[in-house]
Structure 1
Amino acid sequence: MGAYLSEEQLDAYNRNGFLVIPDFADAARCLALRERALLLARKHVPPPDQATVFTADGGDRHVAERYFLGSGEAIHCFFEKDAFDAAGRLRGEAHLSLNKMGHALHDLDPVFDEFSRAPELAAIAGDIGMAEPRLLQSMYIFKQPRIGGEVVCHTDHTYLWTDPPSAVGFWFAIDDATTENGCMWALPGGHRLPVKARSKLNRARTATELEILDTVPYPTEGLVALEAARGTLVLLHGALPHLSGPNRSDKPRHAYTVHAIDGVASYPDDNWLQRPNLPLRGFS
């Protein structure tokens, strides 16, 4: 039995590559984080004519933009592609047209810092074997009603590469996540499959490129829906294949994710996320 997780929970995480922990954060904390995210979105959203669109449906147009590559030590906002009409105009208010906001909320905002560094999270990191956990990136994901985009099947290790692999995702349901509004789906045991690709900076360090390591795609059968009520924590192994569908409902699906890596692992200097001016910190 760990400091926080039971033996049954640890066994489930090791077996499946994910663990769903209901009622981890109370509703009041989730709603406070939601309000803070909307406030920061209003503050940091760029003008529509300077919009950076984030797509996770297989397109990589965003990765060549300096705004994206500089977000590892900033709070930057990325729009949904369907937030714009055929003429390139926003269909709604700018701060309600965002796909996500990241990637250093946990270090640059005190409300997100406190939420991200709860002692229970440090205990969980120790339970799953992280020797020196370091909080690398954070994202607030809006999954807007009707325009929330899909995220194709991927692993976090592909984008947050360490040697040996060590990335772990701490995903919090800020709103109820259901199959109707684009909850996550995961492949139980998929963390034991070979990781298919690695994303890294190109030689000029102006964009990212995808190095294909295994041309065999992840299985399409056997995915399970990770429906999660507000306050649920979903723990995700870095090598676990997971995805989320689009949100075509009239309900938002806000979520917050912190990714940690182990400080004893090697972090390559050609990973897209570099923080030369923002040292990595742990949970304390």
Structure 2
Amino acid sequence: MTTPSLTRRPVLHHEVTDELIAQIREDGYGVLLDAISPAEVSSLREEAVRLCSGELAEIAGGPAPRPGESADELMRRFLCIHYPHKVSDVALRALMAPRVVDVLTRVIGPNVKAMQSMLFIKSEGKPGQPWHQDEYFIPTRDRSLTAAWIALDDATVENGCLWVLPGSHRRGILYPDREQDDDRFDCSIEAYDFPYRDEDAVPVEVPAGAAVIFNGYLLHRSLENSGKHGYRRALANHYMSAESLLPWRDLPEGVHVGKHDFRDVVLVAGEDPYAYKGTPDLSRPLSRPDKNGGCDR
């Protein structure tokens, strides 16, 4: 396997400018510094401990605390908690972070809804994820799917930062996928057979509080945390246009997929034209076991 070049670095934007929006559209991703404040970063780190300990809610599939185990020891047995915004006001506020929403309304449109949050807790030795596109996992179909990956620690090559293939979103297609068993990666599904090489990838090293905002069709991955100590914590939230249906999960019997609209969403900007359908509380926090003994990604 070839080694990606470390000479290419992302542009770090201090403000929400036309240049940032243009980069997201052209390259498929952009970095906004200080997307959340240092105080908010600290609160989310503290909230991670409360979530892992079960103080806020039971985490389905998550490892239970062991007698005499410290909070730090417990956290190192987690990789990711899905839907923290369901039980954490701190995570819910981050889902609606004003500087992030400012970017989203300029990239997606005035009406934006969120359908998922994920709190990643990747300590040393924990795996990353293989090349993939978020649209594979969250099929929005309208090309508005956008992620905001907020670093809660300085994300570096050593501790497992994101890597992206700039421009890989432009065709708006899903590349083939296959099973993989590389121990560097958590998930077993990887995208392949795309017209890019590993050496085309850019490591997105960012400081805590920065947000990597990227298109749902962008090919991206992360490698293992190879540092000798410490975490690479991050909060990843997913958004899309509120005008579009979300044909995702729990398709009711007898309902055509073209009309299925998953409504466990949070409106973060503008108006929801489908508000008359309601927003049922369906998803609960969970941690999915992985092949290396942790959880999701």
Q: TM-score, normalised by structure 2?
A: 0.68
Confirm or deny that 1:159 pairs with 2:137: yes
User: Aligned partner of 1:110: which letter?
Assistant: D
Counting only pairs closer than 5 Å after superposition, residues 45-194 of structure 1 correspond to structure 2 as: 75-76=59-60, 78=62, 93-103=73-83, 105-146=84-125, 148-193=126-171, 194=173
Q: Secondary structure at the match of 1:282?
A: strand
> Quick check: 2:100–2:211 contact (8 Å CA) kept in 1?
no
The two structures, once aligned, show a CA RMSD in angstroms of 3.1
Q: Secondary structure at the match of 2:50?
A: helix
> Which residue of the partner structure matches residue 280 of structure 1?
265
Q: What is the deviation of 1:130?
A: 2.8
| Over 6 Å off, 4+ runs | none
Compared with structure 1, are the counterparts of its residues 256 and 270 closer, same or farther at alpha carbon in structure 2 (3 Å cutoff)? closer
* Matched length: 227
Q: What is the deviation of 1:78?
A: 4.9
Compared with structure 1, are the counterparts of its residues 45 and 223 closer, same or farther at alpha carbon in structure 2 (3 Å cutoff)? farther
2:35 corresponds, among 24, 42, 57, to: 24
Q: Secondary structure at the match of 2:46?
A: helix
> Which residue of the partner structure matches residue 194 of structure 2?
217
Q: TM-score, normalised by structure 1?
A: 0.71
Q: Secondary structure at the match of 1:234?
A: strand
> Quick check: 2:29–2:212 contact (8 Å CA) kept in 1?
yes
Q: Which has the higher helix share?
A: 1
> Which residue of the partner structure matches residue 35 of structure 1?
46
Q: What is the deviation of 1:177?
A: 0.4
> Quick check: 2:36–2:209 contact (8 Å CA) kept in 1?
yes
Q: Could you tell me the percent identity over the aligned residues?
A: 24
> Which residue of the partner structure matches residue 175 of structure 2?
196
Q: Secondary structure at the match of 2:144?
A: coil
Compared with structure 1, are the counterparts of its residues 145 and 215 closer, same or farther at alpha carbon in structure 2 (3 Å cutoff)? closer
Question: Which string of whole-angstrom CA distances, capped at 9 and with x for unpartnered residues, describes residues 100-145 of structure 1?
Answer: 0012x22332111112212333222111133421110000001111
Q: Secondary structure at the match of 2:25?
A: helix
> Quick check: 2:138–2:248 contact (8 Å CA) kept in 1?
no
> Quick check: 1:149–1:246 contact (8 Å CA) kept in 2?
yes
> Quick check: 2:166–2:201 contact (8 Å CA) kept in 1?
yes
> CA–CA distance in 1 between the matches of 2:196 and 2:28?
15
Compared with structure 1, are the counterparts of its residues 152 and 271 closer, same or farther at alpha carbon in structure 2 (3 Å cutoff)? farther
Question: Which string of whole-angstrom CA distances, capped at 9 and with x for unpartnered residues, describes residues 160-180 of structure 1?
Answer: 111212211011010010000
> Quick check: 2:36–2:94 contact (8 Å CA) kept in 1?
no
User: Which ranges of structure 1 fall in alignment gaps of 5 or more residues?
Assistant: 47-73, 80-91, 200-208
User: Which ranges of structure 2 fall in alignment gaps of 5 or more residues?
Assistant: 1-14, 64-71, 179-187, 252-259, 270-297
Question: Which string of whole-angstrom CA distances, capped at 9 and with x for unpartnered residues, describes residues 25-52 of structure 1?
Answer: 2222101111111111111799xxxxxx
